[in-house]
């Protein structure tokens, strides 16, 4: 009888074969719960054995000595961040470097994606101390919660004025730009008042990839440490299923690209511009990205010291111990 694993995931398209059962295992019966908001702490959850989790919050668990969660280097959310900086259509801001001295809104200070976006700005000479930052909800539909997460500093990093939605603050000229990977309703309409800061964000992202060699990872898979201790083979089995789901979905997307005009052209360009294996899971192939993210967390004042990649991950996606590999 297969072992049941309760897994919480967002609706990433390439997880569809796994959710529908097109990708399955005789050893593991995965019960996927489709979530909109990430589980706050899978190690303390009664509902799940594993979950998609923030890379940033996982590093915090590691530095706090919380060993209740085992992270595996399978980064199920990746993305370039240059496209995630938006402003108004009539704004004079057209380069990331133009954001020096400006008022920038973020949906959560320590969020992994926002950490990577600040890293992109830092490469253009705009560090944390070079702008005024506001943390708040993107739209009226989002809840009012603490998005500073203890990192607020008067005059530098503050809550959005009056807890007003940041998209309203941007429209009214009280913010100069916002970081968001998820565009608000109406953003794609012809009469939208908003646009990306970079008109050629794709070109900027290609140059970034040429420089660093990776697409930033934001979310990974975390499993309860007790579950792993009892069933150590689960790491390799779950990671292999996720990889297979991704492979199957890409094959289907290439076959059925006609559902979105010009998607075929996009798929062709991506296959040329990104090397095979750019989204591969595993420790070795992602070590540089892991190192750079841990460095950014420290440079940006989110972590008190730099964590090494080996400190962050005990196990590789095949279930082997990373410290044993290093010793060998």
Residue range 244-288, pLDDT digits in tens: 999 999 999 999 998 889 999 999 999 999 999 999 999 999 999
C-alpha distance across the termini of the chain, in Å: 36
Query: Could you tell me what percent of the chain has a pLDDT over 70?
Result: 98
Q: For the stretch 70-86, what's the b/e string if a residue is b when 16 or more beta carbons lie within 10 angstroms of its beta carbon? A: bbbbbbbbbebbbbbbb
Q: SS3 string of the chain?
A: CCEEEEEEECCCHHHHHHHHCCCCCCCEEEEEEECCCCCCCHHHCCCCCEEEEEHHHHHHHHHHCCCCEEEEEEEEEECCCHHHEEEECCCCCCCHHHHCCCEEEECCCCCHHHHHHHHHHHCCCCCHHHCEEEECCCCCCCCCCCCCCCCCECCCEEECHHHCCHHHHHHCCCCCEEECCCCCCCCCCCCCCEEECCCCHHHHHHHHHHHHCCCCEEEEEEEEHHHHHHCCCHHHHHHHHHHHHHHHHHHHHHHCHHHCCCHHHHHHHHHHHCCCCCCCCCHHHHHHHHHHHHHHHHHCCCCCCCCCHHHHCCECCCCCEHHHHHHC
Q: What was the pLDDT predicted at 270? A: 93
- Tell me the C-alpha distance between 35 and 51, whole Å: 10
Confidence grade of residue 327 (pLDDT, cut at 50, 70, 90): very low
**CA atoms of 328 and 143, how far apart (whole Å):** 49
Q: Would the pLDDT of 325 be above 70?
A: no
pLDDT band at 326 (very low <50, low <70, confident <90, very high): low
pLDDT of 144 strictly over 70: yes
In this prediction, residue 323 has a pLDDT band, given cuts at 50, 70 and 90, of confident
pLDDT of residue 324: 54
Across the range 18-45, mean pLDDT stands at: 95
Q: How many residues does the chain have?
A: 328
**Burial environment of residue 177 by CB neighbours within 10 A (0 to 12, 13 to 18, 19 or more):** buried
Per-residue pLDDT, 328 = 45
The per-residue pLDDT for range 152-211, each reduced to its tens digit, is 999 999 999 999 999 999 999 999 999 999 999 999 999 999 999 999 999 999 999 999
19-35 burial, b if ≥16 CB within 10 A, otherwise e? beeebbbeebebeeeee
Please choose, from the candidates 189, 133, 129, 183, the residue with its C-alpha nearest in 3D space to the C-alpha of residue 160.
133
Give percent above pLDDT 90 in the chain.
97
> In the prediction, which pLDDT does 85 show?
98
Q: What's the predicted TM-score (pTM) here?
A: 0.95
pLDDT at 136 over 60: yes
pLDDT at residue 319 is higher than 90 = yes
Tell me the pLDDT of the chain averaged across its residues: 96
Residues 46-93: pLDDT tens digits? 999 999 999 999 999 999 999 999 999 999 999 999 999 999 999 999
């Amino acid at each position: 009888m297969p072992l049941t694993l309760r897994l919480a995931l967002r609706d990433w398209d390439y997880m569809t074969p796994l959710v529908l059962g097109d990708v399955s295992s005789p050893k593991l019966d995965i019960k996927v719960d489709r979530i909109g908001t990430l589980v706050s702490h899978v190690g303390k959850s009664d509902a799940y054995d594993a979950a998609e989790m923030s890379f940033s919050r996982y590093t915090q668990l590691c530095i706090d000595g919380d060993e209740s969660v085992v992270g595996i280097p399978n980064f199920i959310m990746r993305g370039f961040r240059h496209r995630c900086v938006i402003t108004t259509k009539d704004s004079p801001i057209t380069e990331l470097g133009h954001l020096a001295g400006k008022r920038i809104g973020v949906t959560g200070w320590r969020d992994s994606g926002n950490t990577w976006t600040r890293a992109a700005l830092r490469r253009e000479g705009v560090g944390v101390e070079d702008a005024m930052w506001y943390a708040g909800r993107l739209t009226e539909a989002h809840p009012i919660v603490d998005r500073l997460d203890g990192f607020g500093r008067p005059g530098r990093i503050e809550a959005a004025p009056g807890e007003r939605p940041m998209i309203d603050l941007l429209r009214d000229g009280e913010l100069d730009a916002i970081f968001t990977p998820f565009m608000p309703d109406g953003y794609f309409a012809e009469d939208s008042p908003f646009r990306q800061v970079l008109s050629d964000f794709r070109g900027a992202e290609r140059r970034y990839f040429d420089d660093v060699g990776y697409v930033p990872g934001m979310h990974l898979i975390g499993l309860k440490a007790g579950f792993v201790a009892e069933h150590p083979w689960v790491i390799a089995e779950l990671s292999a299923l996720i990889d297979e789901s991704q492979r199957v979905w890409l094959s289907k997307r290439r076959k059925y690209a006609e559902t979105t005009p010009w998607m075929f052209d996009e798929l062709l360009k991506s296959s040329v511009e990104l090397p095979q294996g750019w989204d591969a899971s595993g420790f070795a192939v992602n070590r540089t990205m892991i190192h750079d993210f841990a460095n950014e967390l420290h440079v940006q004042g989110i972590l008190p010291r730099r964590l090494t990649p080996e400190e962050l991950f005990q196990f590789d996606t095949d279930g082997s111990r990373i410290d044993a590999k290093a010793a060998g």
